[in-house]
Chains A and B, each alone.
Chain A
Amino acid sequence: MQPLIVVENLVKRYNGRGPVGRPGVVHALHRVTFSIAPGKTLALVGESGSGKTTTALCLACLERPTSGRILLEGRDIAALQEKELHAVRPQIQLVFQDPATSLNPRFTVLEILTEPLLFQRKARRSEAAELAYALMERVGLPAEIARRRSGELSGGQRQRLAIARALILSPKLLILDEALSALDCSVQAQIVNLLIDLQLSLGLTYLFITHDLAMAAHLGDEIAVLDRGRIVDRGAPEMVLRKPEKEATKLLVQSAPLSTGIQPLRRVS
């Protein structure tokens, strides 16, 4: 089956200041290559600064790669002009870590959900509202909160709203960048179950970016390890995590809490 998305030799360099304010070039991504099959989840793990968010931004067409290809269903979107990207962006959507900063706190739930539809001219106002309510139900948000401002919602509700907004344009690929990290444990579990449901019912493909190894192994069909802009390890979770060979992977495994059982030498029964 053709992969939904293929990333080939993605390079991203920033001109600007390196650490401690000295001018220089930052090599954020170095020949990053991976692919994701439709309906599957690739979990991308790595330390802070390894390039996870840069990868997300390049795939979502919010940053232009320095070189390399990004093939969405066979078409190279990294080479497209801005005009053509307008039609591509709805197909790849992002959910960020902090819904408090990615959602306008003064907009109501309904406004946040209908805005993309109206902006992309995908529906008239009445249709947009209907679609919004349907999606609210899908993600477990009660209809009563439709007119509440996003700033008044709980963390879990806001993240459900962020997911609903990402889904309103029927994307094929959802990039979740540390989307669970700011949530309480019990709320994380609810959102994980929602993501699993949505993937099955809507055939969504996920790029799940996280520094939580246990969550990556739980949700990922495959895990890829990023280290300073390079993919150093990739494969099924049991292969990558059970006997880690690369230094970067070993470091991540060692930092995982003992009770998750990821550290293979000290499995808790």
Chain B
Amino acid sequence: MQNALEVRNLHVNYISRAGTSVSAITDVSFDLGPGEILGVLGESGSGKSTLAASLLRLLPPNGRIRSGSVRLQGREILEASPGELERIRGKQISLTNQEPSLALHPTMRVRDQVGEVLAAHESLSRGARRERTRRVLAALFPFETERISSSYPHELSGGQRQRVLIAQAIACGPSVLVADEPTASLDPSTQREILSTFLNLRWKLGLAILLITHNPFLLEGLADRVLVLYAGRIAEIGPAESVLSKSKHPYTQALLRCAPSFARRDGEFPRKSKLPVIPGDSPDLAAVPEGCWFEPRCADRWEICRKREPATVPPGAGHLISCFKFGG
């Protein structure tokens, strides 16, 4: 069966005002299978939002996709014309951002905002559009469809606004949804609602989802596979359970150890003990090292790590790591 998305050797730069170029995504390759949920885990500066924007060719004016390939249902996106791109975005691949209050029109009712997306991509009669809108909203708001449908964004809670964004994103039945930090600033029970929504959409619509987040806990029980980004490169990728509880890359291990947890202490509640931190600062993408990007902060570093970069992770199944400890 054809992959929903195939990314090969993607390189993305940003050009500064001074004309210097910084590589934000370097040699990234991965597959997203049909109906698969792939979690992209990365902190600020890891390149996760750049990756999201690149997949829809929505980089800011100073961003450049230098090379590589992004195939959506077998079709190359990086060669699409502007007209073709307009037809692809929203219809075959959609993006949701973390600020629903900025993305939603403040003086349009919810049903009109969803209807607008349908009007842009489908030639439906008004009646048919209304019916499709109702069905999409019913899928996301099974209990209060009518009330939400006629509401304005300011009348909704944060979680409801996020679900309206998702409704807009899936209205035309895309095969891929890129969700960039979909639960930022939502409280835990609302977060879980949104994450269940994603699971539902995957089962009901066969939607493949790229879930981008800095919070590893969100991916638990949700993602099929997890990809860990560091300094614009894939550090580790594999089945979610493996990457999250048997992680191999020193960065992933250090990152997961940062969060307070009682599991590690056999249920004993610690009294304000210091948390293990990752020493050093997050990488400065303008200061390109000779060797591995994580080396200065790595507890397991070898001599070779300073001199050469470990091999890039190829696309494929299994638990793959970019690190000399694992063949590099």
Q: Using CB atoms, name the residue of chain A closest to B189.
A: A255
> A93 contacts the other chain (Cβ, under 8 Å)?
no
Chain B interface size, as a band, is 35 or more
Tell me the interface secondary structure of chain A in the complex: helix
> B258 contacts the other chain (Cβ, under 8 Å)?
yes
A267 vs B220: C-alpha distance when bound (angstroms): 15
Please, which residues of chain A bring their CB within 8 A of the CB of B221? 258
> A185 contacts the other chain (Cβ, under 8 Å)?
yes
209-235 of chain B: CB within 8 A of chain A: 214-218, 220-221
**Contact across chains for A269 and B263 when beta carbons are under 8 A apart:** yes
> A261 contacts the other chain (Cβ, under 8 Å)?
yes
> B106 contacts the other chain (Cβ, under 8 Å)?
no
Indicate whether A255 sits within 8 Å of B188 (C-beta atoms), given known contacts A41-B272, A186-B278, A218-B270: yes
Q: Using CB atoms, name the residue of chain B closest to A236.
A: B269
66-112 of chain B: CB within 8 A of chain A: none
185-235 of chain A: CB within 8 A of chain B: 185-190, 192-193, 196, 199, 211-215, 217-219, 221
A189 vs B187: C-alpha distance when bound (angstroms): 20
**Contact across chains for B189 and A251 when beta carbons are under 8 A apart:** yes
> B62 contacts the other chain (Cβ, under 8 Å)?
no
**Contact across chains for B189 and A190 when beta carbons are under 8 A apart:** no
Q: Using CB atoms, name the residue of chain A closest to B43.
A: A184
> B266 contacts the other chain (Cβ, under 8 Å)?
yes
Could you list 6 further interchain pairs (A-B, Cβ under 8 angstroms) beyond the known A48-B186, A186-B282?
A: A97-B185, A184-B44, A193-B277, A255-B189, A268-B263, A269-B266
- Residues of B with Cβ closer than 8 Å to A? 43-44, 151, 155, 157-158, 184-192, 214-218, 220-221, 244-245, 254-255, 258-267, 269-278, 282
11 residue pairs of the A-B complex, CB under 8 angstroms, read A181-B185, A189-B278, A196-B272, A196-B274, A214-B262, A218-B273, A261-B261, A264-B267, A267-B262, A267-B266, A267-B267
Task: Name the 3 nearest CB pairs between A and B, nearest first.
Answer: A261-B263, A257-B217, A261-B262
